[in-house]
Each structure stands twice: as C-alpha cells, then as structure tokens.
Amino acid sequence: MDEESKQLIKALVEGHREIKAQLDSIELKLAHESGSIRQEMREGFERLERSVDYLAGRSGKHEMEIELLKARQFQD
C-alpha cells in the first residue's frame, strides 16, 4: 500500500473516531434529558394527583354541606 493510501485510511479512521465520540456524547445527553423529562412528568403527575384528591375531598365536603342545608330547609 502506498503512503497516500495509508494517510487516507488514517484520516478516515480518525474521522470515524471523532464521529463516534460525538455520537456517544449525544447519546449521553439524550439519556440525561430523557431521564429529566421522565422525572418532571412523574412530579407533574404526582402534583396533579394531589390536586385531584384535594378537589375530590372539597367536593365531597361541599356536597355534604348542601345536603345539610337542604335538610335544615325542610325542618323549618
């Protein structure tokens, strides 16, 4: 193999290594972002669940108060 071919192959191998390193870096960043997004979604769903539970409790309390008011209305 002549020197020019060797240099070309070396350049291709080095280019391949650089591209591989960049892809590895992108994969790590993507995995990190994906994990962050999952965590944010999990926390958002937990907040939403607490809000729904709170609203359901308040709704039940209001329903009970309405029924008490109705009962008082008919007693008078």
Name the pTM for this structure.
Answer: 0.59
pLDDT of residue 76: 63
pLDDT score for 1: 79
Q: Sign of dihedral through CA atoms 26, 31, 36, 38?
A: positive
| pLDDT value, residue 74 | 79
CA gap 60, 24 in Å, rounded: 54
Per-residue pLDDT in tens (0 to 9) along the chain, 76 residues: 799 999 999 999 999 999 999 999 999 999 999 999 999 999 999 999 999 999 999 999 999 999 999 888 878 6
